[in-house]
Structure 1
Amino acid sequence: MPPLSAFLANWSAAVPDWVYAVILGIIEGLTEFIPVSSTGMMLLAKEAMGLTDPFWNTFAVMIQLGAILAVVVLYFQKLWGAVVTLPTRPESRHFALTIIVAFLPSVILGLLLHDFIKAVLFDSPLVQCISLVIGGVILLFIDRKAPAPVHDDPMRLPLKTALTIGLFQVLSMIPGTSRSGSTIVGGMLMRVEKRAAAEFTFFLAIPTMLGAFVLDAWESRDQLAAAGRIELLGIGFVTAFVVAVVVIKAMLAVVTRRGFAPFGWLRIAIGGLGLAILALS
């Protein structure tokens, strides 16, 4: 066993599982909404910490719901207002339809490709690192060259725009690509203002991550029945929620002042570091 791998294996055995749950929860909350791929970050962290139990793959997907709850809390007034006025306001029905239209491509392709992605791509650190670097370059380019925006309200996007954003979201099935990054790029290419593109991807995350949570919970129900694992999910869920509340506000402030370039460089740095670590392992 290489020295680095041996060190990680010994270190992993000495640390209690609840510590890993907290660490991964923090990473999820930090990265779910910034365009750097929360799943890719958690899987790289899992690799770095020597967590080989398949449970941690399921954990990485399921605690995303904690971060999504942060969106519901922060945007509760807008979202609840849209829900209660669905019968009476055409604008609310249009917003709901844009979310459904954007969500459908991931539902269809997610169900068709779910097993392949988890078996072939999901646990590949190399794929994640390459995706991070490529995605960072794309984000830098789009941040500079995107067409001038004409849509600045995430709750009033045209259906064609919403569908295009949903098709871009499908790219995030490749680990390391980033769901928020792919949808934001799609939105900016469809002339959605940067902050509005970020907020629409927050809203779209709610049904997307809820669907992923339900699917993984059902498929991993036997794993989750093991002693202590529900408690670990609870720790990760709460940690991700608390951190995500802070990060969402900070991200919007950064995007408003500096665009998405800082996140592009961050992706390239993390992907490059990951490739270097893989080369040494």
Structure 2
Amino acid sequence: MNILLIIQSIIMGIVEGIAEFLPISSTGYLILSADIMNFWTQEKRDLFIVFIQLGAILAVIYDYWGRLWNAFMGLITGKAEGLQNPRQLGISLIIATIPVMALGLTLSDFIKQIFHPIVVAVMLIVGALLIFYVEKRPHKIIADEAENIDFKTALKIGFCQCLALIPGTSRSGATIIGALWLGISRKASTEFSFFLGIPVIVGAGLLDLLKNKDVLQTGEDWAILGVGTLVSFIVALLCIRLMVAWVSRRDFTIFAWLRIVTGVIVLIAYFGFGYHVTG
């Protein structure tokens, strides 16, 4: 067993678990972390980066199981305890998922070709500027709970999520900031983003594993993937509630500054010190 690869897998799991639900781009930070550590071969690394996010989203399913089951039963039966419109959350999530699923299936191979630190750096900075813009706009709240987001707004959030197909944009950032811009409360924007990640990330992770499972040639390869996914689940489970508590009281400008600092450091390293992609 390659102990170094196991340690690197654990580090990648920690990065994913922390970054998945923050508007800073977990994929971007995974790409940068893997590149700095020279983690695995390129094909295995690309599969790892996509699949490991499944661990974090399983933490959402575990932590929000009651509400998710309520939404599912409301969608199927039209009845859900405490909900005036029991089918609304389920249908809204389906509507919001359609754009990114359609675009992701069409562009999946191209997206992997732009898994590049410079693309990440540029999009980190662009995303930060969008966060500053949205945070400075006055917010008129039209929905204070995820269950109250209407279908038209859900579709708009779904189109915002499509931006996250570009590495460095951040799926959480695109959906949370997009929802805020559309008038959803901070807490509802964050939780809807959590829920919206379930079909997208589970679908992308399983599809990529199915298409590229042949790159995992040994039991050790599968163990490395499994360790990273398990660590991302555990760390994400610890971070979800902290994230919701944070956004209920504060804005996202601190994450915008973090994005800018990271993006600038990568650009300086690349153009000033000859930092290039490995693998």
Please report the TM-score for the alignment, with normalisation by the length of structure 1. 0.91
In the other structure, the counterpart of 1:8 is none
Tell me, yes or no, if the aligned pair for 1:37 and 1:180 is still in contact at 8 Å.
yes
Unaligned runs of 5+ residues in structure 1 are 1-13
Cα distance in structure 2, aligned partners of 1:146 and 1:92: 30
1:239-258 matches, cutoff 5 A: 239-258=231-250
Tell me, yes or no, if the aligned pair for 1:28 and 1:240 is still in contact at 8 Å.
yes
Unaligned runs of 5+ residues in structure 2 are none
Cα distance in structure 2, aligned partners of 1:155 and 1:230: 38
2:186 paired with 1:194: yes
2:9 paired with 1:21: yes
2:91 paired with 1:91: no
For 2:178, the aligned partner's letter is G
SS at match of 1:130: helix
2:34 paired with 1:34: no
Q: Percent identity?
A: 38
Tell me, yes or no, if the aligned pair for 1:106 and 1:170 is still in contact at 8 Å.
yes
Alignment deviations for residues 245-269 of structure 1 (CA, whole Å, 9 cap, x no partner):
1211111222122111111111111
Pairwise CA distance, 1:73:
1.3
Cα distance in structure 1, aligned partners of 2:27 and 2:205: 13
In the other structure, the counterpart of 1:56 is 45
Query: For structure 1, which segment, 176-185 or 246-255, has the greater mean C-alpha deviation from structure 2 after superposition?
Result: 246-255
In the other structure, the counterpart of 1:226 is 218
Instruction: Please point out which of 265, 269, 273 is paired with 1:273.
Output: 265
Pairwise CA distance, 1:277:
2.2
In the other structure, the counterpart of 1:81 is 70
1:178-189 matches, cutoff 5 A: 178-189=170-181
Pairwise CA distance, 1:91:
2.5
In the other structure, the counterpart of 1:104 is 98
* Residue 71 to residue 59, structure 1, CA distance change in 2 (3 Å): same
SS at match of 2:147: coil
In the other structure, the counterpart of 1:217 is 209
In the other structure, the counterpart of 2:60 is 71
Cα distance in structure 1, aligned partners of 2:44 and 2:138: 40
Cα distance in structure 1, aligned partners of 2:17 and 2:215: 24
Please report the TM-score for the alignment, with normalisation by the length of structure 2. 0.91
Query: For structure 1, which segment, 227-236 or 86-95, has the greater mean C-alpha deviation from structure 2 after superposition?
Result: 86-95
Pairwise CA distance, 1:147:
3.3
Q: Over the residues paired in the alignment, what is the CA RMSD in angstroms?
A: 1.5
